[in-house]
Amino acid sequence: MNILQKTRLSKYEVIMLIIMASVFMTGCTLSAGNGEDEPQSSINGIYFDTFVSISAYDDTPAEVLKGAIGECEKYEKIFSRTDEESQLYSINNRSAGGAICISKDMSRVIAAGLEYGKMTEGRFDIAIGAVTKQWDFHGDGCVVPDGKTIEDALKHTDATAISQNDSGLFIDDDKLEMDLGGIAKGYIADRLKEYLTENGCTEAVIALGGNIVCIGDKRGQGYSVGVKTPFDNTGKLSKVLNVSDTSVVTSGVYERYFEKDGQMYHHILDPATGYPAGTDLYSVTIVCDDSMKADALTTAVLIMGEKEGIEYIRERMKDEVSPVKQAVLINDRYSVTEIN
Amino acid sequence: MKKKDYILISSLIIGILILAVVWKCAFSSAGREVYVTVSNEEICSCNINEDCILQIIDGSAICLKDENEFDGRGNLLIISGGKADVISADCPDGVCVDMPPISKCGESIVCMPNAVIVSVR
């Protein structure tokens, strides 16, 4: 205590200094222990043949997250093309013509799908189901359908045969089938965001495979969303985007594909040919507040290819409603083009 | 204040800083759990700091004594040194095996073909 006695610093002052320093350091420690980059709570599952995760960066109760993931089950029963109990399955396997009674969710997605079909001049097409079902990119199939089968299926992909009014849905072609795979996940991601925000969540990330929706700005620092390097399984990223309160959607030919006789067959089919799109793009990432729109546009731009796709994205950046905010294109030479 | 006072206060702060770092290293993963779901049903959970080897097969997790007991079916999950890693699996794509080990809350290893998700909470 000699030192203390020789100075004007009292015992009390020293103790206060120690307490203050301790409080400061403890605060830092707790903060780091909790992890600035780690969510406070999270939940995940496999739905729509996709890994779905919801991570909250605020004190959203676990029950709310459970409720949100429960919504996925509900939407799976509406939009699954393969689930025999789903609404889409019953539409595609309808026995007679006339009005088909559909849910509000289904009606909204079909209406949006038809609109995006016009917006992309048919590059995005929800009426492609008869062609889609000829291909198997999930199982051990690796079978390329023969030309005649695709040709016949293509005769039943005219989206103008689909219409809706107050009585229900009408499909003026008995063999036409819908495939909402290129748009439903975007719609569901938007609905999950709605569900969480209505339940008080202000900071969260929803991920449905290539569809990412961010709520809030992650305690002011923004969310880092990585754009994967195509065909790389090690998690290598070609680009990292810092975004807040918006959606980031990626479509890539590398997501599902098989190889046969030295040729790669990926899952993004060109509605004009019925075969995997002959594109010079490996992946398209679009940042847009409307995840459903971004979902449809990534598919369409991928089919368009790099040159036309870049011009098209610039046009969509001028949209009055939910314009494209940013895009990242990776071509087949792994060259990255960023459009801001 | 004199030079020795500054030394005293600096020493105290540095001491606390060292303690904080030691605390973080020792206890930042305390209380974290690794949990496994199969087809969206949770089948098991365990403390990330308790080393164990699990074979995830037929919707359940079997504790193994060592890796050599793994018969190649399902997914082989190893929890060691505060990290969880899938090191072997019978799925056709092997994506889960390629994924890096996980240790932070919210991180996951996913095996789509086997509908297995390993996560930290």
Q: For B62-113, write each residue's pLDDT tens digit.
A: 999 999 999 999 999 999 999 999 999 999 888 899 999 999 998 999 999 9
Distance from CA of B27 to the nearest CA of A (A): 8
| A29/B24 CB distance under 8 A | yes
| B17/A55 CB distance under 8 A | no
pLDDT value of position A9 = 54
Nearest to A25 among B20, B104, B117 (CB): B20
pLDDT value of position A30 = 37
**Residue A34 pLDDT greater than 90, yes or no:** no
Cβ(A229)–Cβ(A236) below 8 Å? yes
The CA distances from residue A116 to A159, A183, B46, B54, in Å, are 11, 10, 47, 47
pLDDT value of position A323 = 97
Q: How far apart are CA B39 and CA A55, in angstroms?
A: 19
**pLDDT category, A32, cuts 50, 70, 90?**
very low
Distance from CA of A37 to the nearest CA of B (A): 9
Encoding tokens for residue A180? 């909402």
pLDDT value of position B38 = 96
| A28/B100 CB distance under 8 A | no
Distance from CA of A312 to the nearest CA of B (A): 34
| A235/B1 CB distance under 8 A | no
Please tell me what DSSP assigns to residue A100: B
| A42/B92 CB distance under 8 A | no
Question: Side by side, which strands form the sheet with B33-38?
Answer: B41-47, B33-38, B116-120, B108-111
Point out the least confidently predicted range of A18-22, A311-315, A329-333.
A18-22
| B39/A46 CB distance under 8 A | yes
Q: How far apart are CA A198 and CA A191, in angstroms?
A: 10
pLDDT value of position A29 = 39
Point out the least confidently predicted range of A19-28, A47-56, A189-198, A223-232.
A19-28
Encoding tokens for residue B13? 């702060």
| A42/B1 CB distance under 8 A | no
Which residues of B, range 35-54, sit inside 8 Å of A by Cβ? Answer: 37, 39-40
Residues whose CB falls within 8 Å of the CB of residue A25, separated by 6 or more in sequence, listed in order: B13, B16, B17, B19, B20
Q: How far apart are CA A277 and CA A253, in angstroms?
A: 9
Average pLDDT, chain A: 89
- Number of Cβ within 10 Å of residue A340's Cβ equals 8
pLDDT (average), residues A166-170: 92
Distance from CA of A44 to the nearest CA of B (A): 8
pLDDT (average), residues A291-308: 97
- Picking from A161, A160, A196, the residue whose alpha carbon sits closest to that of residue A175 is A161
| B1/A17 CB distance under 8 A | no
pLDDT value of position A139 = 65
Distance from CA of B119 to the nearest CA of A (A): 9
Q: Averaging pLDDT over each range in A103-117, A230-244, A253-267, which range is the top one?
A: A103-117
Q: What is the pTM of this model?
A: 0.83
**Residue A309 pLDDT greater than 90, yes or no:** yes
Cβ(B49)–Cβ(B79) below 8 Å? no
Q: With an 8 Å Cβ cutoff, is B25 touching chain A?
A: no
- Picking from A204, A163, A211, A156, the residue whose alpha carbon sits closest to that of residue A183 is A211
Residues of B in contact with A25 (CB under 8 A): 13, 16-17, 19-20
Average pLDDT, chain B: 86
The C-alpha torsion from A175 through A176 and A182 to A187, rounded to 10°, is -110
Residues of B in contact with A140 (CB under 8 A): 92
pLDDT (average), residues B5-9: 71
- Number of Cβ within 10 Å of residue A322's Cβ equals 16
**pLDDT category, A3, cuts 50, 70, 90?**
very low
**pLDDT category, A49, cuts 50, 70, 90?**
confident
Distance from CA of B104 to the nearest CA of A (A): 7
Encoding tokens for residue A67? 């409720």
Q: With an 8 Å Cβ cutoff, is B11 touching chain A?
A: no
Q: For A34, which residue in chain B has the nearest alpha carbon?
A: B28
**pLDDT category, A13, cuts 50, 70, 90?**
low
**Residue to test with chain B: of A11, A19, A44, most B Cβ within 10 A:** A44
Beta strands in chain A (DSSP E): 41-47, 50-56, 162-165, 168-171, 204-208, 211-215, 223-228, 237-243, 247-252, 257-260, 263-266, 281-288, 324-331, 336-339
pLDDT value of position A37 = 77
**Phi and psi angles of residue A333, each rounded to the nearest 5 degrees, phi first:** -110, 10
Residues whose CB falls within 8 Å of the CB of residue B83, separated by 6 or more in sequence, listed in order: B48, B101, B102, B103
Residues of B in contact with A234 (CB under 8 A): 98
Q: With an 8 Å Cβ cutoff, is B106 touching chain A?
A: yes
pLDDT value of position A300 = 97
Residues of A in contact with B5 (CB under 8 A): 3, 7, 9
**pLDDT category, A47, cuts 50, 70, 90?**
very high
pLDDT value of position B102 = 95
